[in-house]
Structure 1
Amino acid sequence: MKKVLYPLYALLFFWASGAAAQGTTNPCTGKANFQFTVNNLTVNFYSLNTSNTQLKHRWLFGQGDASSDAANPVFTYNSPGVYKVIHYIKDEVLNCYDSAVKEIRLGNVCDLLKPKFEWQRDSAHPARIKFYNVSQPNPPPAGVSFKWSFGDGSSSSDFSPVHIYQQPGEYEVCLIMRIDGVCEKTFCAKVIVPPPCNLQPNFSWTADASNPLKYKFTNLTAPTSTTAQVRWSFGDGASSSEWNPTHEYKEAGVYTVCLKVYISNTCVKEICKQVVVRACTIEPGFSWQLDSIYPLRGVQFRNTTPVLTIQPLRVRWSFGDGTESSEWNPFHKYEKPGTYHVCLKIAFFEGCTKEVCKTIVIPEPASCERLSNFEVRLTSVPNTIKAEAAIANSSLKYVWTFGDGTGAFTASTSHTYAKPGKYTICLTVYRGENCASTTCKEIVVGPLPCSLTTVKFEYQRLNSAGNSIKFTAVSNQTIISQRWSIQKDNATTPVIINANNPTYTFTQPGIYKVCLRAVTINGCVKEYCDTIRIGEIPSTCSLQVTPNPATTQIFFRLELRGNQTVTASIVDAMGVRRTVHFFNGLQGWNSFNIGIATLPAGYYTLEVKYNGIVCSSKFQKVN
């Protein structure tokens, strides 16, 4: 609350001063004057006002928020120093204001002065030195001034100056902390200004004409120095300290090659470049997507070839209907349904052209009759249903009737009935003037007897192996609890899951009996069982990137069942494949590393493919 009062008193004072200036005289002028006596750190303050009128006082002692409303206060300070004391008064009778300010010194202020500084070179300009004033006390008492002597004949009175030296060398810098006419103290330290670092590292490279995996690197660093030391990093875990090294890569790919040149501790520079090592081992690929309602509207083709860091020379699509395209991700419209042989041919570089072909089927447009298929279910909200059209498309028009005189016009809708009962829900879907389809279903809303309550489950395989399955309980009443049991044909103990609509991953092939025990909102307990067959489960991989976060390189390990090629890609947060690397893997455990120094800071995914297996791991790149 005190911090709010101080500006208020100051505001009153200045307002009063302004009011007095508008009149003839201020009858309170001089009434705030005061004297004081000092006893060590204790100060007695005395108001010099002698009038008999009633006054209000406010003292600010200059030590933090310390204050008093007494006429003649006594205050003990924490330590010696110079303090600014303000005395405000208000005459309640004359309705006027006045203030007085005095500076007091307690103890030997010079004992408090402790000049000191720290300094730091500018990393880009070593002759530019930033000085940091860390003298005590901070902030300094009133009347304290600073004087810097930089050891090269120049000086400054700034609190924390920046100074640029004209020549390298060792300089003695002094900081003088002074109270004029009282005392001064000096602190000195040596500052070393190194010679300028004029290094400009650079390099070029050429591939061996007889071996495209072998590269000759030429150091173009200027100026040259007989004392310079170099360190090459070739982006595949290998390095060299030769001035002009030759390096042979094991696989084609995009590698980040770095050259670091060292002259001294204050003169080290590095340059990194991406080197494309080409071998005709990249395989093209593509995917496509049809319009679910009207496939003849067109097909979106997506080029999935991992070459985004290497600009191919030519791309050509052949759509199987006599037309072609050179776009990377073309959109193509077929004139009629049928089976088409689509080919993608890519010329990665001269002498390296690959082609992939796939068969796609353009079906007849969805029949008008099935456009109105829908699903309806009860929700946990009393007397409320959720209805969804089987086919949702913005080109279709939807009309729902709920059997109680109400309806809706969207592909997905919810409805709450006023009372329980049996209702007929109908959906009519329109597609143009010649297509209108209607489907109707009955639903019972509200409590049912257990004899009419039904419970079952449906399931969906979530992966290509078919061993990860999502189970969904289905009932004509709201289910309030679910208990699942999963038992293999030759197992004695089932797996029990107490969860709603769980997902379960089977680890072994075989035939399993899956049972659902459900309790419905109308108090019924129902059980439903079915069998599920799980086929052979392919091998999976576990991938871990280290270090994470990483700055210049990442490492990962794989266990391979035989000698094979490993493809590693780095994909950014937007899904763009930034780099692609190829490794020769050997049977057993393999360790690989990838240079990431040139990648911007951010989050990435390492995607590794080998022997038909794909695994990935996320990592963070920091600078």
Structure 2
Amino acid sequence: MRKLLVLLAGVAFALSSLPAHAKSSSPDLANFTFVINPPNAVVFTNTSTIGSEPGDRWYHWSFGDGSQQVITNLDPVTHQYPGPGNYTACLYIYRIRPTIHDTVITAQICKTVIIETVCQANFETVASTSTALGKYFVAQPSHSQNKKPVQVCWNFGDNSDTCIQYSTSYTGTYNVYHLYTQAGAYNVCVRIVYDGGCEAQRCRPITAGENDSCRADFERIAPTATNNPLQVSLKALPWHNHDKKPVQVCWTFGDNRDTCIQYSNTYPGPYTVNHTYANAGNYQVCVKIIYQGGCESTKCKLVEVHLPDSCRANFERVPIVSVNNPLLVGFHAIPWHNNGKKPSRICWTFGDNKDTCINYGQDYNGNYSVAHLYPHAGQYQVCVKITYYGGCEAHFCKPVGIGENSGCSANIFEITQSNNSLERNFYAAVTSVPPHPVESICWRFGDGTDSCVGATASTPPILTMHHVYPGPGVYHVCIRVVFQGGCVAENCKDIIINSPNDLCGGYMTDSLIAPRTFKFKGFAIHRPNDPVISFHWTFGDGTAGNGPEVTHTYANGGEYRVCLTIVTQSGCETKICNTIRATGGNQTGLVITPNPVQNILHALFYSTQNELVTIKIVNATGVVVRTYTRNVTIGANNWDFDVSSLAPGPYLFSVQSPNQLASALFLKQ
């Protein structure tokens, strides 16, 4: 990519040396504005002026933190910076010259983006049980770099105040008790000074002298005027024993985003909010309602966010041991639905001009099996169609050999010392009639990983498999065995791994999304009546984060010990740690030629690892149009790709693994 940019720069210099009378067209002028959304999000607006030179334009954004983005329009882009600091953001405009099919930089501009440290202060009140004039005040600090308070000062509104010093190693609550001399309304202020000097203050009225009681709750309501399944509408349900109204309702949505809404004391309701999630999943949503007079209450519960329904269908052949008739065959449907919906109807076609459909209720928990008697031995095309509650349908067909002289089967046997153990051993019991050697055995472990092993005449098949699961849960393990001659046997079973203490547990996953930038996800196992109240991450470089899903960028390459601590409402704590490796450079070397290309694209990739990489070609609209996998070795790796069927236009070519990332642009003619 660097060679291409140098070539383009040379072309740009050559064009700039043309005589003045040869330049009659107006030039491109690069410019942009930006708005910072605390703490670290920045929205960039492209305000460039495009000149009259012919050809399409590419807009290359470089954000100054090692990440970049290329688009083909003037739309705004949003970038999430890793933390406070000064960043140089640049916009480069490329023009595609239609006559010679290459690109040239026509304009560029750079600006400094300053992300400042943000700190806040707040507090909540707790009434004393011994006297109505006593109040407990609990400070609620918030710092964008997770720095701790070193001083908390209180002004109680009755001409009395106090300041309390704290060490940076203090882990308790920042609370204080104050006894008022008479009932009334008081304006209470808290000022928090953080390690590093950032200060914040919050004041609000409280009432002393009467024992207010309040509660908070919320419900999910139907969203209005949207068909986005990731948008959720929530309605707060306030209650106060003296019918005082909410003055503030704060929401935390469980995805590291939150909002607070102020209300006047004449507002009649309802207290609703809309939120759009980035991904489907289960989120711990909390509402905190602050009432007139200072009474506060919080309620948290899980909210499930679904993607649009997606489903699959499959089936396996199962033996009927009670009847010794090779023409009587059992089939077991294998449903799958991304939102966990059950089959409402399963239809079978057996390949002998006979079929059947079976309806199932939503409370059905048995097997989806059927038996069929064939008229004679032979090969039959068997199909299953599964219709799920909600309307999603899926269809699957495969050939099945019937008769005493043909057929194959595979069964899974699980070997484990404890139902709490994350380590499981599996044995594949395979048979075929007549006997045929095994060509391959593929395992799917139900946790997103799989493994395939082959066999030859000199290498017998490996029938055992060892696997370590990430955490407690239920996993759907499947095996697929291919025999010489074409017979295919499949089977599945559920593996249950219990939590060691039957109280709580969890696991974590990580994925590389940019150079030295990782997305971490935490998953919790807990009792239904003991929700998770905290996901706390330490990234091994002295920084930390909170939430079930976080993104972190390392400043330098190396190995880091990442730890996740999950805490439930009852205090049950789980700690999981993994070691990850961040590469030292921003990008591994990648050269693609020719560029522009018509038929065969050659890629030269310099690898720092011996591993498997994923190669993707992405078009200008962000759609992945080609995906490949290749084994790479340390040093130079050369590949050729046939791109003749791609439509003309710009494409991004990327090579990625858990340890490496490289990308380059090319133009398809």
TM-score (norm 2): 0.28
Structure with more strand by fraction = 2
Larger Rg: 1
TM-score (norm 1): 0.30
